[in-house]
Structure 1
Amino acid sequence: MSTDLLWIFIPTIAAISLTPGMCMTLAFTVGLSQGYRHTLWMMWGELAGVATVVVTCVVLLAWIQVLPKAYFTLLALIGGTYLLWVAYRLWTAPARFEQGEGRPRVTPAALLALGYTTAVMNPKGWGFMIALLPGFMSSDTAVPQQLMVFLGVILPSEFLSMSLYASGGSGLRRLLSSEKHLAALNKVAASLMVLVAILVLIKI
């Protein structure tokens, strides 16, 4: 991945990670009921699940790249269109965040499994990675090298975002309870999605 693309990839992943999706909502809810340290078990599981999704998607996309160009072109077209749809949904999404209810104490093993299955069984995560990654992959660079870059950006971003949600600090509560702040975050993420969609589509 070139330096220019990397500077687009990093803020895009950071903005999407910060938006309150399934994994972040889970981190916030478990953090409020279990405490940050106990929630780390769920976070390790979620990171393992995200790594599973990323590795699988990169291997699949690398395989598609060696097929006739029409296959990758079709995937890029579908992916770019999907990213534009995601951007539209983020831009028009209601500015609210569901905190959920407190839960009884959960064992570390259960939290680990909960985090992993939540990440792996989230269809939006798979769709997002399949749509996003083609814009940043190159057939001239070895797959393991590209995979290390992707994981090196995505996993720390996910961990930091989950830590913010799981800590349940007063500042985060104010941010999430403010429709103005949440709407602004959604619009920043949507704008970055449009930029990435354009990158994917112009590679066709």
Structure 2
Amino acid sequence: MEIQVWITYVVTVLVLMSTPGPSQLLMLSNSIGSGFRRSIYTATGDLTANFFQMVIAALGLATVIANSQHFFTIVKWGGVAYLLYLGMKLLLSSPGNSIEQQGQQRSKSSLYWQGFITSAANPKAVVFFAALFPQFINPESGLLMQFVVLSSTYLIMDGVFLCCYGKFAESIAHRLHGNMKHQLDRMSGIFLVLAAVLLGNKEVS
């Protein structure tokens, strides 16, 4: 892959990632409650789902998946309901039952699957990758190596973005205590509700 093509791809991905989505809001919420280091499991779950979506797109199954509207409608709304449940649980929590205390009880596998489910519930991700990658692939060169370059670049960039969101949220959480800390807990719940709204607005067809 030519360096000019790769740079254009990087700029394109940067533009696409400039607006936070459900996964970024989930990262903010989990970093507030569980700390940045534990929220990395959330980022890992998100990136794992992205990788599977890229592989499916590369295998040429995007058209089949795009036509499976009923299945992906169920998956999408299941993800929306899950995020709403988590968000409302935080919004309705009492000051004596802070997100920090809940975060200590939240397992690494739970944080991982939150990230995975939120990303996997995006009904258009596979179609998105199937539309994005061909714009930067030269059919006369090795397709496998180009796929590796494009997918790894995207995953690394997405991982950096998620970590920046997580580190920022953790730094804010560390500066707040008492009643202000509980208000930040409520904000964490709002992030999850907003993530659910964004996911719900993503059309399947």
TM over 0.5, shorter chain? yes
Question: Aligned residue pairs: how many?
Answer: 134
Aligned to 2:128: 128
Q: Deviations over 1:172-201 (max 9, x none)?
A: xxxxxxxxxxxxxxxxxxxxxxxxxxxxxx
Structure 1 residue 144: Cα displacement:
1.7
The alignment's TM-score, normalised by the length of structure 1, stands at 0.59
* Partners of 1:16 and 1:29 in 2: CA distance: 22
Q: Deviations over 1:64-113 (max 9, x none)?
A: 9xxxxxxxxxxxxxxxxxxxxxxxxxxxxxxxxxxx67553221111111
CA RMSD of aligned residues (A): 2.3
In the alignment, is the contact (CA less than 8 A) between 2:57 and 2:127 conserved in 1?
Answer: no
* Partners of 1:144 and 1:164 in 2: CA distance: 30
Identical amino acids, percent of aligned pairs? 21
* Partners of 1:8 and 1:133 in 2: CA distance: 12
* Partners of 1:149 and 1:59 in 2: CA distance: 16
* Partners of 2:121 and 2:109 in 1: CA distance: 18
Which protein shows a greater Rg?
2
Amino acid of the structure 2 residue aligned with 1:130: A
In the alignment, is the contact (CA less than 8 A) between 2:56 and 2:126 conserved in 1?
Answer: no
* Partners of 1:127 and 1:154 in 2: CA distance: 15
Aligned to 1:158: 158
Give the 5 Å matches for 1:14-33. 14-33=14-33
Secondary structure of 1:141's counterpart equals coil
Amino acid of the structure 1 residue aligned with 2:5: L
The alignment's TM-score, normalised by the length of structure 2, stands at 0.58
Give the 5 Å matches for 1:1-204. 1-60=1-60, 102=90, 103=99, 104-105=102-103, 106-167=106-167, 168=169, 169=171
Q: Could you list the runs of 5+ residues in structure 1 that have no partner in the other structure?
A: 65-99, 171-204
